[in-house]
Amino acid sequence: MKQIFIFSLLLISGSLAGVNANAQEVFKQKGYQVTFINKDAAFSTALKDRLIKTFFEVYPKLAKEYNKKTSKKVTFVIDTAYDGVAATGNDTVVFSSKYMTKHPGDIDVVTHEVMHIVQAYGNSDGPGWLTEGIADYARFKFGVDNAGAKWALPAFKSTQNYDNAYRVTARFLLWAEKNVKPDLVKILDKQLREHTFTNDSWKNLTGKTVDELWAAYAANPAV
């Protein structure tokens, strides 16, 4: 990897003891930028470096594949107060410092979350389960170390449904691309971003409704 040019700005937050817990650094590479805001003084420097490296490895690929007009500037926040895994909005990804410290191998949380930035669906009428399914599909396809996190698409179960979201939906999309419509995810993603997606999109693109596609998947779910 070529050298990443770095410049930093430390934000003073009231006391010398709090300086390292509110460090803001800006990293640039090949036209992309990530601002890293760390609210956890104990957060691993090695993990921080890996989060940044993953961003520069996957984000340009996601932009090229799905949305070349995506934002060139992204912000990462390591938050001690956030109790989830990660959340994305307004080109900013908030990571739970507790989760990331406990699960340092789950580096492709980055891949899933920055795909949400690439998606840029705004106030789309598209279903949330499809948004999350596409993000996990992108993680499956572009993730740098899913195996290291013991993350994989789940085997099919009869109790599942296409609108379970995340990995269940991602596996269904993978099957649909392999067996019915190549590039289906790219087309759905584009429609969602352009707000042209409707429930009829499945039928128009594949010749089957989403329920009919799921029935075919359930009958032969191998991918």
The answer, yes or no, to whether residue 32 has pLDDT greater than 50, is yes
**Site of tokens 């805001």:** 37
| C-beta separation of 34 from 55 below 8 A | yes
Per-residue pLDDT at 206: 98
What class, spelled out in words, does domain 1-120 have in CATH? mainly alpha
Q: How far apart are CA 87 and CA 84, in angstroms?
A: 8
Tell me the per-residue pLDDT of 170-189, one tens digit each, with 9 for 90 and over: 999 999 999 999 999 999 99
Q: Where are the domains positioned within the chain?
A: 1-120, 123-223
**Site of tokens 């492709």:** 108
Q: What is the pTM of this model?
A: 0.90
Tell me the Ramachandran region of residue 25: left when phi exceeds 0, alpha when psi lies from -120 to 50, beta otherwise: beta
What is the side-by-side strand order in the sheet with 92-96?
5-10, 23-29, 32-38, 73-79, 92-96, 86-89
